[in-house]
Amino acid sequence: MNASLQKKDNTYYVVISTVDTSGKHKTKWVTTRCGKKSDASVVMRDILSRMDRGGSMDGTKYGFLEFLSYWLENIIRPQIEQTTYEGYVKNLNDHIKPYFLEMNLKLADVKLAHLQRFINDEHKSGRLDGKGGLSGQSIKKHMANISKALDYAVKTGLILQNPARYVEFPKSKSFVGSFYSIAEIDKLLAACKGTTIEAPIMLATHYGLRRGEIMGLRWCDVDFAEGTLTICNTRVRVKDECEKPPKSESSRRTFPLIPSVKAYLETLKAEQDQNRIDCGKSYNENGFICKWADGRPLELGYINSSLTKILRKNEMRHIRLHDLRHSTASYLNKLGFSPKEIQVWLGHSDIKTTMNIYTHIDIGMKENIAARIDGLFAG
C-alpha cells in the first residue's frame, strides 16, 4: 500500500494505492478537508493508522443495505422508543431499500454521488402515491438514518469517512399553517356539538393540544376539585397504535380548567358514567375522555376524517386538526400574550417554533397597523 498527499481545488486529498488479492491495482482518494499540508499530514497519519487496523477493508465485506439493517436492529434499536424505531423501519423499507436494492453496493463503495442522486430523485418523484416528490424536510429524515449508520461505520473502522456528511439538500419551503378566526371556531364548535368528536374539538380549540395529547387524556388527568388538566400521556401511531409519555419536558404541562371547558367535561363525565351503567359488562373500561358510547377509545385517524366530513357538510373552509393548534396560537397572539407565554401554553421546547410557525398576523391586524401609521402623518 502506498499513500501520498495531492492538492485539488485548494483541498488536500490522501491518495491511497492498494493491490487486491487478484493483483489488481486500486486507487482511492480521501479528502482531508484541509487546505494546509501540515494539517493534511496529521489527517493522513490517522487514516493510515485506521487502515493498518484493517478498517477500510472490512467495509467490503458488508452490503450497504445489509449494514443499514444490522445497525438499525442491533445498534440503534435499544437506544430509541418503539415509535421512533418503527419510523426508521418504514423509511428503510419504503424509500431506502427500493432505491438502492438493484445497485448491490458494498458499504465501502457508497459514494457521495450515490447519496446525492438518491436525494435528488426523492425530491423529484419520491412520494409513495406517485404524485411527485418529497419535501426537503422528509428527505432529511431519510438521510439522517443513513448518515447515523455511516457515522457508526466510521467509528468502528469499517469505512474511512461518511459521504453523507457532504450531501446538498433541496431548499425547504417555509411552512405556513392555516388557522381559523374566532368566528370560524365558534361555527366549528356549533357544528361539532353532539357529535363524537365534540370533546376533541373543544380541547383542541381551547388549549391548542396536539392530537396525541387529546386522545391520550384520561379522567385521572382532570382534577375538578383543584381545577386543573394535566398532559402526561399521548397516543401515537406509526405501524401500531401505542401510548407514550409527552415528547418533551415542556410538553408535560398543567393547565387551569377554563370554566366553560370544566362545565362541559363535568357533563360529559356524567354521560359516560350513565353509558357505563347502560352497557354493563360490555363497557370498555380504560379511563379515556375521548371515546365511543361503549367506552372504546376513538381511533387516532377517526377524528381527522370526521372533521373533514363535518366541514364539508357545513360548507366550511377546510382545516386540519393540527391547524386548530395554529388557531389557538393566533388568537393568543391577538389577545396580546407574549411569545414566551404562548410557547409555555402550547408546550414548545424551542421558542423558535412558536415564532416561526404559529404567530400569524392576519389582515385585520395589518389594517390596524396601517391605520396607526396613517395617524402618524395625519397632520
Question: CA 209, 212, 215 angle in degrees (round to 5)?
Answer: 90
**Number of neighbours of residue 349 by Cβ within 10 angstroms:** 12
* pLDDT for the residue numbered 80: 86
pLDDT of residue 91: 92
Closest to 254 (Cα-Cα) out of 217, 282, 285, 307 = 217
Gyration radius (Cα) of the chain, Å: 28
Residue 150 CB neighbours (<10 A): 25
Residue 318, pLDDT above cutoff 90: yes
For helices 198-207 and 259-279, give the axis angle rounded to 10 degrees.
Answer: 160
Specify the range with the lowest mean pLDDT, choosing from 57-71, 106-120, 205-219, 356-370.
Answer: 356-370
**Residues 19 and 26 sit within 8 Å (Cβ to Cβ):** yes
Distance of alpha carbon 345 from alpha carbon 265, whole angstroms: 20
More confident residue, 341 or 350: 341
Nearest CA to 158 among 100, 105, 108, 104? 108
Nearest CA-CA partner of 268 in 328, 193, 325: 193
Which of 369 and 292 is assigned the larger pLDDT?
A: 292
Whether residue 141 is predicted with pLDDT greater than 60 in this model: the reply is: yes
The one-letter amino acid at 344: V
Binned at pLDDT 50, 70 and 90, residue 55 comes out as: very low
Q: Which CATH superfamily is domain 64-166 in?
A: Tyrosine recombinase, N-terminal domain (1.10.150.130)
Q: Give the tens place of pLDDT for each residue, 319-334.
A: 999 999 988 988 888 8
Query: 56: pLDDT confidence band, cut at 50, 70 and 90?
Result: very low
Nearest to 98 by CA among 138, 61, 125, 80: 125
Whether the pTM exceeds 0.95: the reply is no
Q: What percent of the chain has pLDDT over 70?
A: 87
Q: What's the longest Cα–Cα distance across the chain?
A: 91
**pLDDT given at position 305:** 94
Average pLDDT of the chain, as a whole number? 86
Percent of the chain with pLDDT over 90: 50
For the chain, which residues make up each domain, given as ranges? 2-50, 64-166, 182-317
> What CATH fold (topology level) applies to the domain 182-317?
hpI Integrase; Chain A (1.10.443)
